[in-house]
Amino acid sequence: MQKTIKQTASCTGIGITGQTDCTVTFQPAPPDTGIVFIRKDLPGQPEVPCRPEYARVDARWTSLVNNDIRIDHTEHLLAAIAGLGLDNLKVSLSSPFIPVVSSFSSRDFVQALLKAELVLQDRPKRCFRVKEPVCIVNSFFHQEKRYDRFLLALPAPELILTYLLDYPDKEIPTQLAQFSFANSLDFASELATARSYITEGEYETVAKLIGKNMEDCLVITKGPLNLQWDNEPARHKVLDLLGDIHTMGRPVKGHFIGIRTGHKDNNQLCQKLKMQVKEAL
C-alpha cells in the first residue's frame, strides 16, 4: 500500500553552496500525489514534481529543474524518502536548496520523517519495474590511463543496489556495498547515516563549491579515519544511487550495479530507464 506521513516535520541546515540557511518542510499528501517540491520563497509558490525529465546534474549533486524553478541537492533527501518507502509527500523549501544535514548523509531527514509517523494509505503502490537490462558505460582518464565506469539495471522482484568503489590510485581501498530495501528500519540504521566524503586531492575544488559546508565533510586522508563501517564510502555511493534513482518519482523494482559511477551516470541511466520501464501495481 502507498504511504505518507501523519503530521508535518522539518529540517534546517545550510544550503549546499554554504552561503545561506534553509529549511525543508515535509507535509502529508493524498494517495497518488507522488513527491512534489514547493518553492515557498517564490511568488505563487511554484511546484516541481519529482520526475526524471526534470533531473539534472550541473555540479557534484543532483537537482530538479522545471521552467527555471530549481530544487538543488536532492539526492540525500530523496534517498530518505525512498528508503522509508514513502510515496506521497509535499516538500516545501525556503530557498532553491535542500539543506545539508548530518555530514551530508540522510540521517536527519530520516529522523524527521519517522518522528512525523509513517502511515499507510488505501491505494496500492505504483511502481516502475525494470523490464529489460539497461547499461551506461562512460570513461575517464587518470595519469594518462583510461578507466571505465559501468552502471547496470537488471530486472528483479525488489530493489537491490550494489556498488563497487574502485579508485585508480587506491586513495580509498577498493570496497563493495550492497543493500536491499525490504525493511525501512535496516535502511535507517545501516545506510541512511553513511556520510559523503572527498579525497585530499579534491579538497580545494570542493571547497570552492560548498564553502563553509567543508566543516561537515568527511575528508579521506592517509592517516587513521573514524569511519562508521570499513566500507562507509561505498555505502554512501549506494545512498546517492538510491536518491538519484528516486528522481523516477515512484518506487523502482530492479537490481542496480554501479562500478566507479556517480551522479551523472545515475542520471543518464534514469533517462534511459524511463523509456524502458513499465508500470506495475
- Could you report the per-residue pLDDT of 198-255, keeping only the tens digit for each? 888 888 889 888 988 888 888 888 777 789 999 999 999 999 999 999 999 999 999 9
Query: Mind giving me the DSSP string for 20-80?
Result: -EEEEEEEE--TT--EEEEETTSTT--EEE--GGGEEESSSSEEEEETTEEEE--HHHHHH
What fold is seen in the domain 3-120? Ribosomal Protein S5; domain 2 (3.30.230)
Residue 219 phi, psi (nearest 5): -105, 120
Q: Which residues, in sequence order, are bridge partners of residue 137? A: 150
Query: What does the domain layout of the chain look like in residue ranges?
Result: 3-120, 127-280
45: left (phi over 0), alpha (psi -120 to 50) or beta: left
Residue 263 phi, psi (nearest 5): -60, -40
Q: In whole angstroms, what is the distance from residue 205 CA to residue 185 CA?
A: 36
Closest CA to 127 of 39, 18, 208, 248: 248
pLDDT at 281 (0 to 100): 36
pLDDT at 222 (0 to 100): 76
pLDDT at 280 (0 to 100): 41
Specify the 3-state DSSP secondary structure of 83. Answer: helix
Superfamily of domain 127-280: lpxc deacetylase, domain 2 (3.30.1700.10)
pLDDT at 15 (0 to 100): 93
**Residue 124: partners with Cβ closer than 8 Å, 6 or more residues away:** 1, 2, 281
- With a cut of 70, which residues of the chain have pLDDT below it? 276-281
All three cell numbers of 280: 506495475
pLDDT at 277 (0 to 100): 56
Closest CA to 192 of 253, 239, 124, 229: 239
**Residue 37: partners with Cβ closer than 8 Å, 6 or more residues away:** 47, 48, 49, 50, 64, 71, 91, 92, 93
Beta-strand pair 252-259/127-130: parallel
Indicate if the alpha-carbon torsion angle 247, 249, 251, 252 is positive or negative. Answer: negative
Which amino acid appears at position 96 of this protein? P
